Amino acid sequence: MDQGINERIHRLWDDLADFDASRSDDALDYLLAGLCAIVDAQNANWMGALRMPHIVPGDPVQGWRPHAVRFLRPSRPLNDKVKEQIKSLEQGSVDETTVRNAALAGTFRVNRLADLAPEAWFDSAYYQCYYSGVGHADAIWAAVPVNEDAEAHLGIFRDAQHPRFSPDDCSTVAYTLRGLKWFHRQQMLSHGALVAGAPLTPVERQILHRLLTGQAEKQIAAAQGQSYHTTHEYISGIFRKFGVTNRAGLMALWLGKGAQ
- Where in the chain are the domains? 3-190, 202-254
- Predicted confidence (pLDDT) per residue in 153-167, tens digit: 999 999 999 999 999
Give the pLDDT confidence of 99-116 residue by residue, as tens digits.
999 999 999 999 999 999
pLDDT for res 213: 87
Measured CA distances, 68 to 21, 154, 221 (Å): 18, 12, 26
Would you place residue 56 in the very low, low, confident or very high pLDDT band (cuts 50, 70, 90)?
Answer: confident
- More confidently predicted of 39 and 55: 39
Q: What is the pTM of this model?
A: 0.88
Could you tell me which CATH number the domain at 3-190 has? Answer: 3.30.450.80
Query: For the segment 87-97, what is each residue's pLDDT rounded down to a tens digit?
Result: 998 888 899 99
Give yes or no for residue 76 having a pLDDT over 80.
yes
CATH class of 202-254: mainly alpha
Element (H, E) at 112: strand 109-112
The pLDDT value given to residue 196: 67
- Residue 223: predicted pLDDT: 94
Residue 225 has pLDDT above 70, yes or no: yes
DSSP H stretches of helix in the chain: 3-17, 24-39, 76-90, 96-102, 113-116, 125-130, 167-177, 181-190, 202-212, 217-224, 228-242, 247-254
